Amino acid sequence: MVAMYDILFLVPSISMLLGTVGVIRFRSFMMKMQSATMIYVGGVMLSLLLFSIYAPSHELRVKTLFLLLLTFLTVPVSSHFIARCHYRIHVVEGKGKRR
């Protein structure tokens, strides 16, 4: 019998699968980075949230929620810095195409 837990974990799994396909198929660096961020936010963060809901002990729930908070704070910031560095190298310094 399939539990609700198993059904809910399909959503982050599908998100990670689609993000992986995007990293492989996209040509632009920025599109690949957006896809990799989708893997982390849609897959890993949702998995952590579901695990914190279904965790067997209170201590494990608190640790998982702390990891979720750290992920929520660091992933967008690091993605932004990587995108900004790429933009500055290729557009501002004139090494890439300007659109």
The CA-atom distances, in angstroms, between 11 and each of 15, 24, 31, 33, 69 are 6, 20, 22, 21, 20
pLDDT digits 0-9 by tens, 3-30: 888 888 898 999 999 999 999 999 988 8
Name the region of 94 (left: φ>0; alpha: ψ -120 to 50; beta: rest).
Answer: left
Residue with tokens 């998982």, as numbered in its chain: 64
CB-CB neighbours of 15 under 10 Å: 20
87, part of any domain: yes
47, part of any domain: yes
Domain ranges, residue 32: 4-92
35, part of any domain: yes
* Single-letter code of the amino acid located at 89: I
69, part of any domain: yes
- In the predicted model, what is the mean pLDDT of the chain? 86
Question: CA geometry: angle at 31 spanning 28 and 35, to 5°?
Answer: 140
What's the rounded mean pLDDT across residues 80-96? 79
62, part of any domain: yes
Q: Is the pLDDT of residue 41 over 60?
A: yes
65, part of any domain: yes
CATH number, domain with residue 13: 1.10.287
* Number of domains forming the structure of the chain: 1
23, part of any domain: yes
| Predicted local distance difference test score (pLDDT) of residue 25 | 93
Q: Name the pLDDT band for 63 (thresholds 50, 70, 90).
A: very high
